[in-house]
């Protein structure tokens, strides 16, 4: 019996016979960001015959959101299904594969996906090795006692260090205190991009010089060895014959025709279209409900079916208010399963309607009611996010795992036509044993040796503690850093390393408050009036600041137009025009050369702003501004703070 199945079922009736479905396997592919999960799933879909020979299929077909394709990362966990023919005995095995996000900020999606499956494929890059998200997903899988298959991907990379990476994975298992049977995992070497796999490391390394050939490792076998290991290692779903229905809601989706869809796994019993079931809600109540439509996933499409059985991952329609963690059970014998729990958020951000003088010029959704409805809709499918009220009726405090998760939410709302004001991200503290504690992140940095001193100096100023340092030429650093110390760190890090450093981090735990951490060293230039920015004014300002707007940009009083070269803010007249006279000067017709201005992305803007600043987000623009637009009241507040200190 699968350990996962046994952990969620109530105590079975002794006389029930234990059965298993040998024609089905449920598994999740987990890894750090950009290690090749989605590419490997693409290759398996192609080799299983999911697409016609002449069918046009996009790269990374599982990444269906525009943002996922633009950023090259998976944001939402999605499942696909394929039928793999086992050449050893001629049987057809259905593989339900859940493709999970690799970024630590979307760890809630990974935790939820692990409740749907009976085993995981741990994918690790042959050059980069295990990184923070690898540790996170492995820790969650080991806690659920799920069997693990280690897949070393990209073994054909020129800088691959496959044997060393395998040793690092073993060390990671030991660090996470894995049991003896958990450490005894199979290892597969593959290239998801080229669609081949092997169990023999020497064979894989020997084939590196034959990229693209149709012989040897890269021949007709393709991913057969990987599929055979999946079938042999991932346990088949088990169930008790005659047990009442138990189906667990693990995700939500929506259809323009059917409304809300509940994605669930059936642990016991059979689910039929039109069936009446007991809907066991989170608040403990049990309500009668009817299954209007029932779907199974076939490749990338949902196919309507009349019934589904134990172990199937299905989608049902007809229950409008169903939410994640609830159970659909037998009407006569309802047995609810435990509610899904995920790690708590570590960052918060204030989000409200756009209150700038330029509000309403671009967006269609401007009111507080529309913003609140959108945030409530986000909470329905996002188990790792929270929304709290503030003392203002038009602003809310959004809690999430990290900056990227917050930025993705704001970007999605911007594309839907919202205009927003977004505050600086702040950490969520806790009181543990009477002591104030803050979230701490585990940071892994790969950097050229010549930049080692600059990076360690940056992290020391942000209260970072070095845990490990290995390598020469390229050095890998492991640090524990307070989460608030990493806000705005990425920009400085890339500047100091000339864009060559690689930074990864994820939540580690809570530790006592580390003390004051310096904020942004430089001040900003703030426009003191409304109007278009002029080339003449910018020419005089660019010598002492880095500009953040271009000529003819519409600005308003209180809007941030540049970064000062020294500490302290400076109010400037960026709308100043050159006075016209009837006296001709020899220099009047010279071409003016402006330094290119700094164009911040949404993530960069959230990192840049200080506590008294915010970001104005509209469908077409991202502007930085002061929270208080009035220069007189800002000066009064600054004087009050200086006297208080």
Q: Which of 44-53, 212-221, 413-422 has the highest mean pLDDT?
A: 413-422
Point out the least confidently predicted range of 171-185, 243-257, 365-379, 474-488: 243-257
pLDDT, residue 107, reads 63
What is this structure's pTM? Answer: 0.75
Assess whether pLDDT exceeds 60 at residue 11. no
pLDDT, residue 76, reads 56
pLDDT, residue 213, reads 43
Contacts of 328 (CB under 8 A, 6+ apart): 245, 246, 247, 249, 262, 264, 271, 277, 278, 279, 280, 289, 291, 316, 319
pLDDT, residue 186, reads 92
Contacts of 167 (CB under 8 A, 6+ apart): none
pLDDT, residue 50, reads 58
pLDDT, residue 414, reads 92
Assess whether pLDDT exceeds 70 at residue 217. no
Residues 378 and 384: beta-carbon distance below 8 Å? no
pLDDT, residue 590, reads 60
Assess whether pLDDT exceeds 90 at residue 352. yes
Assess whether pLDDT exceeds 80 at residue 384. no
- pLDDT band at residue 261 using 50, 70 and 90 as cut-offs: confident
Residues 563 and 546: beta-carbon distance below 8 Å? yes
Q: What is the DSSP string of 396-416?
A: EEEEESSHHHHHHHHHHHHHT
pLDDT, residue 388, reads 92
Contacts of 281 (CB under 8 A, 6+ apart): 287, 326
Phi, psi (5° rounding) for residue 121?
A: -105, 115
pLDDT, residue 387, reads 92
Q: 217 is written with which tokens?
A: 């490792």
Assess whether pLDDT exceeds 60 at residue 118. yes
Average pLDDT, the chain: 82
pLDDT, residue 71, reads 54
pLDDT, residue 63, reads 45
pLDDT digits (tens, 9 = 90+) for 557-597: 999 999 988 888 889 999 988 887 776 665 555 667 888 88
Greater model confidence, 189 or 47: 189
What's the rounded mean pLDDT across residues 461-489? 87
Share of the chain above pLDDT 70, in %: 87
Residues 138 and 176: beta-carbon distance below 8 Å? yes
pLDDT, residue 4, reads 43
pLDDT, residue 13, reads 45
- pLDDT band at residue 616 using 50, 70 and 90 as cut-offs: very high
Assess whether pLDDT exceeds 70 at residue 15. no
pLDDT, residue 60, reads 46
What's the rounded mean pLDDT across residues 82-91? 81
What's the rounded mean pLDDT across residues 46-70? 54
Point out the least confidently predicted range of 215-229, 233-247, 354-368: 215-229
Residues 410 and 622: beta-carbon distance below 8 Å? no
Assess whether pLDDT exceeds 60 at residue 350. yes
Greater model confidence, 236 or 4: 236
Point out the least confidently predicted range of 65-69, 155-159, 495-499: 65-69
Greater model confidence, 208 or 496: 496
Q: Which of 254, 331, 251, 246 is nearest to 288 (CA)?
A: 331
Assess whether pLDDT exceeds 80 at residue 73. no
Share of the chain above pLDDT 90, in %: 18
Helix, strand, coil in percent for the chain, rounding step 5? 25, 30, 45
- pLDDT band at residue 5 using 50, 70 and 90 as cut-offs: very low
What's the rounded mean pLDDT across residues 3-8? 44
β pairing state of 238-240 and 246-255: unpaired
pLDDT digits (tens, 9 = 90+) for 89-104: 878 888 888 877 766 6
Q: Which residues of 140-174 are buried (b: 16+ CB within 10 A; e: fewer)?
A: bbbebebbbbbbbbbbbeeebebeebbeebeebbe
Domains of the chain by start residue, with CATH: 22-236 (3.40.50.300), 240-329 (2.40.30.10), 430-512 (3.30.70.240), 524-644 (2.40.50.250)
pLDDT, residue 372, reads 93
Assess whether pLDDT exceeds 80 at residue 207. no
């Amino acid at each position: 019996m699968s350990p996962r199945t046994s952990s969620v079922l109530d105590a079975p009736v002794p006389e029930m016979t234990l059965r298993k479905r040998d024609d089905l396997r449920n598994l999740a592919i987990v890894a750090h960001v950009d290690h090749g999960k989605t590419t490997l799933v693409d290759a398996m879909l192609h080799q299983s015959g999911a697409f016609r020979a002449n069918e046009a299929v996009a790269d990374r077909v599982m990444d269906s959101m525009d943002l996922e394709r633009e950023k090259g990362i998976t944001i939402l966990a999605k499942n696909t299904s394929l039928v793999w023919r086992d050449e050893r005995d001629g049987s057809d095995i259905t593989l339900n594969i859940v493709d999970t996000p690799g970024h630590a900020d979307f760890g809630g999606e990974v935790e939820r996906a692990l409740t749907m499956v009976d085993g995981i494929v741990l994918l690790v890059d042959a050059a980069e090795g295990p990184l923070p998200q690898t540790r996170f997903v492995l820790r969650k899988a080991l806690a659920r006692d799920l069997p693990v298959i280690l897949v070393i991907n990209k073994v054909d990379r020129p800088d691959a260090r496959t044997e060393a990476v395998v040793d690092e994975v073993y060390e990671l298992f030991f660090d996470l205190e894995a049991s003896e049977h958990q450490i005894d995992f199979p290892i597969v070497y593959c290239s998801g991009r080229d669609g081949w796999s092997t169990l023999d490391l020497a064979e894989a390394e020997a084939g590196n010089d034959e990229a693209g050939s149709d012989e040897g490792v890269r021949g007709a076998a393709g991913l057969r060895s990987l599929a055979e290991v999946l079938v042999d290692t991932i346990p088949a779903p088990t169930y008790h014959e005659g047990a009442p229905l138990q189906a667990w809601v693990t995700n939500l989706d929506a259809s323009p025709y059917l409304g809300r869809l509940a994605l669930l796994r059936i642990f016991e019993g059979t689910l039929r279209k039109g069936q009446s079931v007991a809907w066991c809600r989170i608040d403990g109540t049990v309500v009668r409900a009817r299954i209007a439509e029932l779907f199974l996933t076939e490749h990338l499409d949902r196919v309507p079916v009349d019934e589904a059985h134990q172990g199937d991952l299905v989608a049902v329609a007809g229950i409008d208010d169903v939410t994640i963690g609830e159970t659909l059970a037998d009407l006569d014998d309802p047995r609810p399963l435990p509610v899904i729990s995920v790690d708590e958020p570590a960052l918060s951000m204030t989000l409200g309607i756009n209150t700038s003088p330029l509000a309403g010029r671009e967006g269609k959704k401007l009111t507080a009611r529309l913003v609140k409805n959108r945030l409530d809709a986000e909470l329905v499918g996002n188990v790792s996010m929270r929304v709290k009220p503030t003392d203002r009726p038009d602003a809310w405090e959004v809690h999430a795992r990290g900056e990227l998760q917050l930025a993705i939410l704001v970007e999605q709302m911007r594309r839907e036509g919202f205009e927003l004001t977004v505050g600086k991200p702040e950490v969520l503290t806790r009181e543990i044993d009477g002591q104030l504690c803050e979230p701490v992140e585990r940071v892994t940095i790969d950097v050229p040796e010549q930049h080692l001193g600059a990076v360690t100096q940056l992290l020391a100023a942000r209260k970072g503690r070095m845990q490990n340092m290995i390598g020469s030429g390229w050095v890998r650093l492991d640090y524990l850093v307070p989460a608030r110390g990493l806000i705005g760190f990425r920009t400085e890090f890339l500047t100091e390393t000339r864009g060559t450093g690689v930074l990864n981090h994820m939540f580690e735990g809570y530790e006592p408050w580390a003390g004051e951490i310096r904020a942004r060293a430089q001040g900003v230039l703030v426009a003191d009036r409304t109007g278009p920015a002029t080339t003449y004014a910018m020419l005089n300002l660019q010598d002492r600041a880095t500009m953040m707007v271009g000529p003819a940009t519409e600005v308003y009083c209180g809007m941030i137009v540049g970064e000062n070269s020294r500490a302290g803010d400076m109010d400037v007249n960026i709308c100043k025009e050159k006075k016209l006279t009837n006296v001709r000067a020899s220099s009047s017709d010279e071409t003016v050369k402006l330094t290119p201005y700094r164009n911040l992305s949404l993530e960069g803007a959230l990192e840049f702003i200080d506590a008294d600043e915010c970001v104005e987000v509209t469908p077409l623009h991202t502007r930085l501004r002061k929270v208080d637009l009035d220069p007189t009241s800002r000066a009064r507040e600054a004087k009050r703070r200086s006297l208080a200190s």
